[in-house]
Amino acid sequence: MELKNILTVDFTDTRGRRAKTYQINYQAFTLGALQLNEIHDHIKANYSLIDLSGKIIFQTQYDEKITSVEQLLEFIKQQTAQNKPQKIIVGIPGDELNGYLQLIDVKELRGIKLSKAIEVSTNIDTIIVNDINACIFGAASSLHESQNIAAGIYFPKFYGPGVGIVINDQLITGADGLAGEVQYGTVNQHESPKSQIIDHLQNIISLINPNLLIAYIDELNLTDLEINQIVQTLHRHLPLHQNYKLDFNRNFQEDYLLGLATIGRNIIFKKLSGN
């Protein structure tokens, strides 16, 4: 790790002989984090360059509607040309199954091998992570709940919700990579948003009994009264479940980036320690 400039070496005087000390050089490696956000029926992108401490070196937005994978690749190439990261992590509102984007509502990106396309275009190793999976992993790590059971559910304004689950510091993705795709569940999508939220939260609490459950409701504009009614209804329906924390106050975009940074940095550190 010294040869790769990951560790810096210094010496300190003690009462006896000089002691050799090591410090991590957090600037030695960088991570490119790309957040794809679903706005109405199109995708927008935010790119951040992050060092190994999690510090954001710079950020930029691509505000135009992304209508092709070529357009997205050109944006990524522009951002990585001058400051090339060691790895790129991409968050998407969907899932990459068997290497292809299959569960994404934007038709221009369906069926694309996005990670492979980025690697070929930039020559940078790339991984794809579901947006809510990134969110809950980042939040659970930040709140020191990742060793327990943590779950997060994101309610977009125009699409079905998605759930992320972390157990013992591991994201639970399922046999087919479809864990958390609750839009395929049995909650009635014709009910009011408040009733759907109650049903989804009750299902999650009763099924996995989490230590932490975060509901990302930023886009629904619920009142404090409505949120309190949700909490009280859950208490009535689940009187035996006493020890979980229910959080409605986390910001989706902030946890999204935090999670991408945390997952990406963990992968880099693991690879470095293995080498």
- Of 103-107, 147-151, 254-258, where does mean pLDDT reach its minimum? 103-107
Question: With 80 as the cut, is the pLDDT of residue 26 above it?
Answer: no
| Fold exhibited by the domain 31-130 | Nucleotidyltransferase; domain 5 (3.30.420)
Residue pointed to by tokens 């509901």: 215
Mean pLDDT over 229-254 rounds to 96
Helix axes 69-80, 114-122, angle to 10 degrees: 40
**Nearest 5°: CA angle at 177, between 172 and 181?**
85
What sign does the CA torsion over 264, 270, 274, 275 have?
A: positive
CATH code for the domain defined by 133-247: 3.30.420.40
* pLDDT, averaged across the chain: 88
Question: With 80 as the cut, is the pLDDT of residue 249 above it?
Answer: yes
Amino acid 11: pLDDT: 57
93, 104 contact by CB (below 8 A): yes
| SS3 of residue 219 by DSSP | helix
- Split at pLDDT 50, 70, 90, the class of 23 is low
- DSSP run (H or E) holding 226: helix 224-237
Amino acid 1: pLDDT: 47
E strand intervals along the chain: 7-12, 19-24, 30-39, 42-51, 56-66, 87-92, 96-97, 100-101, 125-130, 149-154, 162-167, 170-171, 212-216, 245-247
- Split at pLDDT 50, 70, 90, the class of 5 is low
Question: With 50 as the cut, is the pLDDT of residue 113 above it?
Answer: yes
24, 7 contact by CB (below 8 A): yes
Amino acid 2: pLDDT: 45
Amino acid 32: pLDDT: 97
Mean pLDDT over 18-34 rounds to 75
Domain pair 31-130 / 133-247, same fold: yes
Mean pLDDT over 86-95 rounds to 91
Which is higher by pLDDT, 182 or 43?
182
Amino acid 64: pLDDT: 85
125, 119 contact by CB (below 8 A): yes
Select, from the ranges 126-140, 183-197, 260-274, the one with the highest average predicted confidence (pLDDT).
Answer: 126-140
Amino acid 28: pLDDT: 77
- Of 66-75, 100-109, 139-148, where does mean pLDDT reach its minimum? 100-109
- DSSP run (H or E) holding 75: helix 69-80
129, 193 contact by CB (below 8 A): no
- Split at pLDDT 50, 70, 90, the class of 49 is very high
- Split at pLDDT 50, 70, 90, the class of 3 is very low
Sequence spans of domains, the chain = 31-130, 133-247
